[in-house]
Chain A
């Protein structure tokens, strides 16, 4: 769908090409975005350019929890008001955002940057698992919450971490799986229902 040579100015063609490399964006969407920007006010276009340019400048990985941050240790790790004895292990930085948004968790995090998947060539040594184990030996951590995704890869990664923790005197927990709030039992898929039944809990 790329335009014939010379049909569009080079700068326009180049932006379309770059945008269409992004996930979820095809050549049509890329063209639409490009022409939108062409007509947008200068300030808006410059702000976007600046944001893109600054994205990777000065970005570091927190030496403690491996979350992406502007400085290391990150803001969460520096916050002394947070519970220092609980670590929540997640696959990606966006998972931290999701849990933080709840406001219900006041402990620390550890970001693995993926899940074990030999098909994609991702092995335990490619993740921040060794860093997690080192933390457990260094910090006064009493509970590890495994919040990897409820996918085959996420489950397997959790299993691997459990084995690495071994017999250290640490409580290891896994996020509950079950019915979404506001959901209708009738419309829940069968796997979710089975999981919810398996993970049922006592009513006080």
Chain B
């Protein structure tokens, strides 16, 4: 798919913007703080109704908007998909006064949709400078990565995730109250049923998707490193993360952890049974600690290069390469699942890569349906890529087409 038109009103430093785009590579360059990243953020926001950078939607609204009496931001676009041209508008409206809720609305092809019904209509892959945190940061970052990726291809997952999160919140609140004030623990165990039902689907889906990503990432990574290194991606579910898995990881054996082999099918029913069982066994401990200790909210991913854990033993360069390979794998996964190429957004990633990896990324982009790439330095682009790219200079919230 490709973005054919984009219209911004009061988004970040773009007071007004209207632009049309053709397929192919579009390179946005220019000095810092002119709006290159904000532009990519707007496209990401159009596709996901979530900002990769802002912690609250209100931050997205142009600072002058309130004085103008228009306390809202609009991101509107037309996206050409394999099945035709679609129109999307995402708008954020600030509350009348401090403390009032910021409202967000998504209108897709003329119909207002709940967020959960919209996710996945426009697929996007974002390469961000901070992607290395996928490897080295906390498990929560990796779970979020998995969730965002799977939500784009499976709406059922989105629903189950929302329900699971809600059930978990209720169960934790009940456990905390029991820890502080005592009472009948039945009030906590009541949430086991929805927790297990929605959580099991999450576990099964994560397991399948990680297995697919693992295959793709191994291939991409081998090409990036000239075949010298072998990257594996492992799913470490909280369930079944028993002594066996930890033991094998520490010995550096070829991992056969639950969730890697695709030849051991696990039915939803088996996971539900196991999940319910583990929850029942954890009850005393949960009452003591006042929180839910079992479930996919404690899952993690592991990146192994030649069987060594990247988070702990990888060099900075290896970690960066692993993160890049993961994004490229994600790109292939989503294109295959959706039977349509997702939009690519690459935020200033060339400066972090050596010439060999830049050339590889360049080749991947040359064949790609549409990609937006920002850079502070055009010389970092491989010459053949630069030759076919459309160049846009970004200047104080305006786009200047150069070619």
A contact residues vs B (CB 8 Å cutoff): 1, 26-28, 116-119, 121, 123-124, 152-153, 155-156, 159-160, 163, 187, 189-191, 194
Contact = CB atoms under 8 A, between A and B. Distances in A.
Nearest to B177: A118
Nearest to B100: A26
Contacts of B171: 118
Given A26-B100, A123-B183, A152 B173 contact: no
Nearest to B113: A189
B100 A119 contact: no
Contacts of A123: 174, 177, 183, 187
7 contacts: A26-B96, A118-B187, A124-B186, A152-B163, A152-B194, A190-B156, A190-B159
Interface of B: 96-97, 100, 111, 114, 117, 155-156, 159, 163, 166-167, 169-171, 173-174, 177, 183, 186-188, 190-191, 193-194
B136 to A, nearest CB: 33
A123 B183 CA distance: 10
Contact of B155 (A121, A156, A163, A190): A190
B38 to A, nearest CB: 30
A118 B170 contact: yes
A191 B187 contact: no
Contacts of B97: 1, 26-27
Given A123-B183, A152-B167, A156-B170, 14 more contacts: A1-B96, A27-B96, A27-B97, A28-B96, A118-B174, A118-B187, A119-B169, A124-B186, A152-B163, A156-B193, A159-B190, A160-B186, A190-B159, A194-B156
A185 B296 CA distance: 33
Nearest to A189: B117
A26 B187 CA distance: 36
Nearest to B188: A118
Contacts of A191: 159
Contacts, number: 54
B137 to A, nearest CB: 28
A152 B191 CA distance: 9
Nearest to B169: A119
B170 A152 contact: yes
Nearest to B184: A124
A119 B173 contact: yes
A204 B100 CA distance: 53
Given A189-B114, A191-B159, A159 B100 contact: no
A117 B166 CA distance: 10
Contacts of A156: 170, 190-191, 193-194
A28 B170 CA distance: 35
Nearest to B194: A152
Contacts of B194: 152, 155-156
A140 B385 CA distance: 81
A116 B187 contact: yes
B342 to A, nearest CB: 21
Contacts of B167: 152
A28 B100 CA distance: 13
Contacts of A119: 169-170, 173
Nearest to B178: A118
A165 to B, nearest CB: 14
A160 B185 CA distance: 12
Q: Which 4 A-B pairs have the closest CB atoms?
A: A118-B173, A118-B174, A119-B173, A152-B166
A174 to B, nearest CB: 14
A192 to B, nearest CB: 11
Contacts of B190: 116, 156, 159-160
A1 B114 CA distance: 31
Contact of A159 (B156, B177, B193): B193
A121 B173 CA distance: 8
A117 B114 contact: no
Given A118-B174, A153-B170, A124 B187 contact: yes
A152 B193 CA distance: 11
Nearest to A157: B190
A175 to B, nearest CB: 18
A118 B166 CA distance: 11
Contacts of B186: 124, 160, 163
A82 B315 CA distance: 77
Contacts of B174: 118, 123
Contacts of A152: 163, 166-167, 170, 194
Nearest to A190: B155
A164 B170 CA distance: 20
Contacts of B173: 118-119
A180 to B, nearest CB: 15
A95 B274 CA distance: 38
B101 to A, nearest CB: 11
A187 B193 CA distance: 30
Contacts of B114: 189
Nearest to B117: A189
A46 to B, nearest CB: 31
Contacts of A194: 156
A6 to B, nearest CB: 21
Nearest to B163: A152
A153 B173 CA distance: 13
